Amino acid sequence: MNVEEIIKTSRPLPLAPRTIIHMALVQNKIEDSMGNALKPFEVSTQQFNVLRILRGQKGQPANLFTLNERMVTKMSNTTRLVDKLMAKGLVNRTQCPSNRRKVEITITEAGEAALEQMDRAVTGAQDKLLEKFVEKDLEQLNELLDKF
Amino acid sequence: MNVEEIIKTSRPLPLAPRTIIHMALVQNKIEDSMGNALKPFEVSTQQFNVLRILRGQKGQPANLFTLNERMVTKMSNTTRLVDKLMAKGLVNRTQCPSNRRKVEITITEAGEAALEQMDRAVTGAQDKLLEKFVEKDLEQLNELLDKF
DNA sequence: CAACAATATTTGTATAGACAAATGTATGTC
DNA sequence: GACATACATTTGTCTATACAAATATTGTTG
């Protein structure tokens, strides 16, 4: 990935702005790749993320606050995101009996099954994205990202 | 930035998915910071990006194709993005006389003046984001990002 | 226990972006 | 010069997201 070529700029960029732009370009590529992997399942990366969180709950229900807290990209409207997963039959939503303000969201069996397929697709996409990285590169990259 | 803490996961993540999530988290932070820097000017990062491209043209007008080509994040509706910059008086749009299919977009003086202020704000935000990086780190990060 | 504050979610609304179809203009071919 | 094709932009429409206000429930305090 050559930054200057992609944004068609003639002059070389100073290192700091180049890094920021580089990050954006790579993130675009990652989102594109993940989106394509999930396209057959008609779920967004956000929805996929929620399904994974719910599976991680191991049967224990999650409420909207918990979901929002654990999402990679927090968003203001988790209600409607869950609505869409409900409409697809991938999750259940019930009112919490002990505190009726809360909702209890769980993944359905259909959701678990679909998620397994999605996982395969996404893992494949990620492996492809990272194919040029050796273990040491990934460690180094994670260390550098920690500096942000 | 500790990935596991931010997404409140108990188990440590395998390196590959951790990297992907890490990238997303950092990018969120970058966008947030840039967005805040630009908030006083009421322009999006995309709009800011277009203004910079126009300045880079040094008086020469750009058409929508050129803008789209040079934008960091390509988007499907450059027309309406330029509309918004027009409404703010930051750019001019005229029909290209030699090829009336094309439009000629230029930055106005007000646009140049505003952009200078924005640049200061954005550069400040970027320096803050990168304050923990030394030159060598940035070089290393750019090299690693090239592997995507 | 009434009044008020805090919590959890939902809803309304405004704006941004994706995608496809429509419009207007230019170019090449017979 | 009429016709098809390619090009450049615009428009319509649908979905996604952000933000604020509204609703419902629970907890707290005098």
A62 phi/psi in degrees, rounded to 5 = -120, 145
In the predicted structure, residue B10 carries a pLDDT above the cut 80: no
pLDDT in tens, A26-44: 999 999 999 999 999 999 9
Distance, CA of A100 to CA of B13 (rounded, Å)? 34
Residue A54 and residue A111 in contact, taking contact as beta carbons nearer than 8 Å: yes
Residue A30 and residue B22 in contact, taking contact as beta carbons nearer than 8 Å: no
Mean pLDDT of B72-89: 93
Distance, CA of A62 to CA of A49 (rounded, Å)? 13
DSSP structure string for A78-110: HHHHHHHHHHTTSEEEEE-SSSTTSEEEEE-HH
Question: Which residues lie across from B94 on neighbouring strands?
Answer: B104
Q: What is the pLDDT of residue B5?
A: 87
Q: Which residues in window 44-83 of A are less than 7 A from strand D by Cβ?
A: 44, 46, 75-77, 80-81
β-pair type (B103-107, A91-95):
unpaired
Q: Rounded to a whole number, what is the distance in Å from the CA of A126 to chain B's nearest CA?
A: 7
H or E segment and range at residue A8: none
Q: Which two tokens stand for residue A119?
A: 């996982």
Distance, CA of B111 to CA of B65 (rounded, Å)? 20
Distance, CA of A26 to CA of A1 (rounded, Å)? 8
Virtual CA dihedral for A71, A74, A75, A76, nearest 10 degrees?
110
Distance, CA of B64 to CA of B75 (rounded, Å)? 11
Q: Which residues are CB-neighbours of B7 under 8 A, at least 6 positions away?
A: A70, A71, A72, B21, B25
In 3D space, the residue among A37, A120, A33, A49 whose CA is nearest the CA of residue A82 turns out to be A49
Mean pLDDT of B89-110: 94
E strands along B43-144, which residues?
A: 91-95, 103-107
Q: What is the pLDDT of residue A101?
A: 94
The SS3 of residue B79 is helix
Q: Find chain B residues with C-beta within 8 A of A19's C-beta.
A: 130, 133, 138, 141-142, 145
pLDDT block averages, 10 residues each, chain A of length 148? 84 92 95 93 94 92 93 92 95 93 95 95 95 97 96
pLDDT in tens, B100-147: 999 999 999 999 999 999 999 999 999 999 999 999 999 999 999 999
ipTM of the complex: 0.90
Q: What is the pLDDT of residue B139?
A: 97
Structural domains for chain A = 61-115 (1.10.10.10)
Mean pLDDT of B52-68: 92
For strand D, the positions having any atom within 7 A of a protein Cβ are 7-12, 16-20, 24-27
Q: Sign of dihedral through CA atoms B26, B44, B47, A43?
A: positive
Number of Cβ atoms within 10 Å of the Cβ of B43: 21
Distance, CA of A113 to CA of B101 (rounded, Å)? 51
β-pair type (A91-95, B91-95):
unpaired
Q: What is the pLDDT of residue A108?
A: 95
Q: Quick check: A80 CB within 7 A of strand C?
A: yes
Mean pLDDT of B77-106: 94
